[in-house]
Amino acid sequence: MSRREQHDGASAESIDDPADHQALRFLLRTGQLGEAISAGMAARVGDREIVGNLTVILVAQLYLHGQLRPVEVQEITGLSSGGVTKLLDRVEDLRLISRAHGQVSADRRAITITLTDDGRRIARLLAAGLMDRISEVRLTLRELADAADAVAASAGVGDDLIVDRAADE
């Protein structure tokens, strides 16, 4: 059987599976949430390249924590060391970060990464872009919580973790 036939067969079989339906509904809403947040940030920043997930993660971490070393970026993003280098090169080309050598007294070879003034300005714009969409984000997060409960229930797992949010409100 070809890969295409296997894929088509799997799709036909799983379309009626309630667990698959619930999981795909959850993934759809998650993607829509990410797109809404990205659109809000891009409207504020004016450059869609800056609002990529890894760039946002890096800028937010640096804004919140001041400086990072490449190994910390690797831990936060899950990238390989080569992937971190490419990310840092790209974000440095955007003039959002700077890298400094010899700033760690215990290891003069160590590199530290900090936000530039432009990077701090962009971080504030990213936050403002989220706030522009906060009503939509809050609604979607509630829907995602319900969808996650539906996924767990249809899969028969985590029933003890399903929370009745109506009782919380």
State the CB neighbour count (10 A cutoff) for residue 17: 13
pLDDT in tens, the chain (169 residues): 554 455 555 555 545 777 788 888 888 889 989 988 999 999 999 988 888 899 999 999 999 999 999 999 999 999 999 999 999 999 999 999 999 986 666 666 788 999 999 999 999 999 999 999 999 899 989 888 888 888 888 777 765 555 554 455 5
Give me the sign of the Cα torsion angle 55, 59, 64, 69.
positive
| pLDDT at residue 14, rounded to an integer | 47
Structure tokens at 17: 């599976």
Annotation: CATH topology of 20-154: Arc Repressor Mutant, subunit A (1.10.10)
- Spell out the domain ranges in the chain: 20-154
Sign of CA dihedral 32, 36, 41, 47: positive
The answer to whether 40 touches 50, Cβ cutoff 8 Å, is: no
Q: What 8-state DSSP symbol labels residue 96? A: S
3-state secondary structure at position 95: coil
pLDDT of the residue at 19: 75
- The pTM assigned to this predicted structure is 0.75
Report which residue type is found at 79: L
Look at residue 112 and give its three-state secondary structure. Answer: strand
pLDDT at 156: 75
Is residue 78 within 8 Å of residue 167, measured between CB atoms? Answer: no
In eight-state DSSP terms, residue 99 is E
